Amino acid sequence: MERQSLGRTVEILLVEDNPGDVRLTVEALKDGKVSNNMNVVKDGFEAMDFLLRRHQYKEAPRPDLILLDLNLPKKDGREVLTEIKESPDLRRIPVVILTTSKDEADILKSYDLHANCYITKPVDFDLFMKAVQSIENFWFSIVKLPS
Amino acid sequence: MVLTFYLWDYARSGWMAQSVQKRFPEIVLGTGIIFSLLVFWDIYSLVTARSRAVGLAEKMTEDLRLEIVERKHAEAELARSNEELERFAYVASHDLQEPLRMISSYTQLIEKRYRERLDAEAGEFMGYVTDGAARMKQLINDLLSYARVGTRGREFQPTPCEAVVKEAVRNLEITLKDAHAAVTYDPLPEVLADSLQLTQLFQNLIGNAVKFHGNEPPCVHISAVKNSHEWTLTVRDNGIGIDPKYAEKIFVIFQRLHTRNEYPGTGIGLAICKKIIERHGGRIWLESGEGRGATFYFTLPVIKG
């Protein structure tokens, strides 16, 4: 806990439509080194409502990290990423693309839109757990974020 | 014409009867007309024959042109449908990975968390689920690599086969060592190829030779023969061999001649070999008999110039 750079419970926004993946990510972060609060939304519209504190998300906390899937219903991850990085209020929040796609075009597009990193979900369960835990470790224990 | 004058001359010589001599001019004229007609007919038929021949040649050229157009059309159609098939295989295998990841992740989670609470039967059932998911994962990965032969292929470059074989042997180092296998080769040519795919081809063939070994330690020998316009490369082994009636079947994707317990694998290796060789404009086949080892042959075009 002493390595934690923010010194408080961190807020994570997970934008993911597959409940199976949501649960796996929650499981992976449950035993994480950093005390975290996971907020989950299921599509791009909900993600923007959460970030802009609209509708049912008026009391939503400002996330310290966004885990964003690319293929989402209604408004997809690329659009959400564009809107986040175009907004002066939101663009400093690190966005981690967490997707099944290994497609070079998706990778290039995401970095072009200023994604902070791109991770392909490992198919293997243990590797998936490790990947999510290292995201948490990297962004909250190693990286210096704006306070 | 010459004959007409000859007749004239002949008649005047007085050999003929008086009556005949009297009508001689008519006879000569008649004969002349007949001969002239014959000659004209000859010339006419020569001329028409020529124009008929020209017409026929033109028609044949036109037919040929149409056939070429049709064939080009068919080829384009085939290329398009191949592309579509590859795209389909790629998308299908890619999208299939997503639900599969769920199945394998959650079975692993159940096994981790509930292992003690599962009774023997539930444990057995879980084993089948895990095994099924692992096999499906392998099939999807294989399907992806099969599709990638067409979609991710690189441009052909002059490629020395010996370097490629060395690379394949290096990649198989542990397998070859464990099986006490020997891989030998004659001087091999330089060919126009995608070196990565050619490496994969040799790796699959050598790998198979080792996998399907007989009682003796596996020996694999690679050689090459040049015909007029192509190289024929052979990969010969001393393994268990293949019944010739399966010589075609073994190149079909996911076709296997053994159970998974006898020999592991999905049956993708030779299908990939065939696809690689076809992409390079060659053919692949085999000669074998049960218990007599197998010899795989494949052709690659000779580099021109």
Q: Is the pTM of this model over 0.80?
A: no
pLDDT at A123 over 90: no
Residue B97 with chain A: CB contacts under 8 Å:
100, 123
Angle between helices B24-114 and A125-137 (to 10 degrees): 70
Higher pLDDT, B97 or A26: A26
pLDDT at A97 over 70: yes
The pLDDT assigned to A1 comes to 42
Check B100 against A123: CB less than 8 A apart. Answer: yes
B104: nearest CA partner in chain A:
A125
The pLDDT assigned to B27 comes to 81
The pLDDT assigned to B16 comes to 56
Nearest-CB residue to A100 (from B97, B105, B106): B97
pLDDT at A116 over 50: yes
Measure the CA dihedral A135/A138/A139/A144, to 10°: -170
Region A15-31 average pLDDT: 90
pLDDT at A86 over 80: yes
Check B102 against A123: CB less than 8 A apart. Answer: no
pLDDT at A3 over 70: no
Check B105 against A100: CB less than 8 A apart. Answer: no
The pLDDT assigned to A54 comes to 95
Region A61-79 average pLDDT: 93
The pLDDT assigned to B84 comes to 78
- Torsion angles phi and psi, residue B13, rounded to 5: -70, -5
Check A126 against B97: CB less than 8 A apart. Answer: no
DSSP string, B49-117: HHHHHHHHHHHHHHHHHHHHHHHHHHHHHHHHHHHHHHHHHHHHHHHHHHHHHHHHHHHHHHHHHHGGG
How far off is chain A from B85, nearest CA to CA, in Å? Answer: 18
Q: Which residues of B266-282 are buried (b: 16+ CB within 10 A; e: fewer)?
A: bbbbbbbbbbbbeebeb
Does residue B114 sit at the A interface (CB-CB below 8 Å)?
no
Which residue in B93, B105, B138 has the most chain A C-beta atoms within 10 A of its own C-beta, making it the best mutation to test that interface? B105
Check A18 against B102: CB less than 8 A apart. Answer: yes
Check A125 against B105: CB less than 8 A apart. Answer: yes
Check A20 against B106: CB less than 8 A apart. Answer: yes
CB pairs under 8 A between A and B: 28
The pLDDT assigned to A2 comes to 42
- Only one residue has tokens 């394949």, namely B168
- List the pLDDT tens digit at each of the 305 positions of chain B: 555 556 556 556 555 566 666 777 788 888 888 888 888 888 888 888 888 888 899 999 999 999 999 889 888 887 777 777 777 777 777 778 888 889 989 998 898 889 889 899 998 998 899 888 888 888 888 888 888 888 778 899 999 999 999 999 999 999 999 999 999 999 999 999 999 999 999 999 999 999 999 889 999 999 999 988 899 999 999 999 988 888 888 898 888 888 877 888 888 899 999 999 999 999 999 998 888 899 999 999 988 76
How far off is chain A from B97, nearest CA to CA, in Å? Answer: 8
Question: How many CB atoms neighbour CB A26 within 10 A?
Answer: 15
Angle between helices A77-86 and A104-112 (to 10 degrees): 20
Check B104 against A123: CB less than 8 A apart. Answer: yes
